[in-house]
Amino acid sequence: MKPIFIAGPCVIESEELLNEVASTLKDIAHRLNIEIIFKASFDKANRTSVHSFRGPGMERGLQMLHDIKEQYGLRLLTDIHESYQAEAVGDVVDVLQIPAFLCRQTDLLVAASKTGRIINIKKAQFLAGEDMRYPVEKCRETGAHEVWLTERGTTFGYQNLVVDFRNIPIMTPLADRIIMDCTHSVQRPGAAGGSTGGDRKYVPAMALAAKAFGATGYFFETHPQPDQAMSDGPNMLPLSDIEHLLSQLI
């Protein structure tokens, strides 16, 4: 199975950011002969602090994502947090993502599945790989034709995650693809004084280890200037570094 790649900024900050990242990713995809699905969130509803930037909201955010799809021809992925969002988001994007904290929410999974779009479910930080069969069943039995599962690390004490790479082969029989979230897996949740910390230097190793364990997709959040990003900066890859890593993975 040819691998797919999911990449983009954590949150929609501006039209300029979306265009810079999308145009770069399109060029990389052409040079490497790969598919890159563009990812950005219209609302980061699970930020650590109530004062944190969340994004432009659903209506404006979906219009901005639609414009990116029209201009660059990239498939789109974004996350939803509430059931009522599924239909409208499904009209624009190709892959609906279920956040890890919400992967057991039956109504959210069912609403997403009814759109007919691909569903990407992130494995909760508190669940074993085996337990992801139940969210997948909820999707398949309510209309989903294609379901992906994403490994993104497991809670290890307070403010830390570790990755048990055995989850990749464990989850492989359950879903159509197993994606490795190479940037969220190096997070330090809540460890940056009201926001999430992380260490991006481990991202390439996470990706290469996931390849060894049989991942069929890779998820990267990327930004031209991660240290100035409005969400998840410490664990995001610089946009200038992503082509080299993707070339290693193929």
pLDDT, tens digit (0-9, with 9 covering 90-100), for 161-214: 899 999 999 999 999 999 999 999 997 776 455 556 678 899 999 999 999 999
AA letter at 122: K
Residue 127: give its domain's CATH number: 3.20.20.70
Whether this model's pTM surpasses 0.85: yes
Number of structural domains found in the chain:
1
Q: Which domain holds residue 106?
A: 4-249
In terms of Cα–Cα distance, which of 72, 65, 44, 52 is closest to 184?
44
Q: What digits encode the pLDDT tens for the residues 74-125? A: 999 999 999 999 999 999 999 999 999 999 999 999 999 999 999 999 999 9
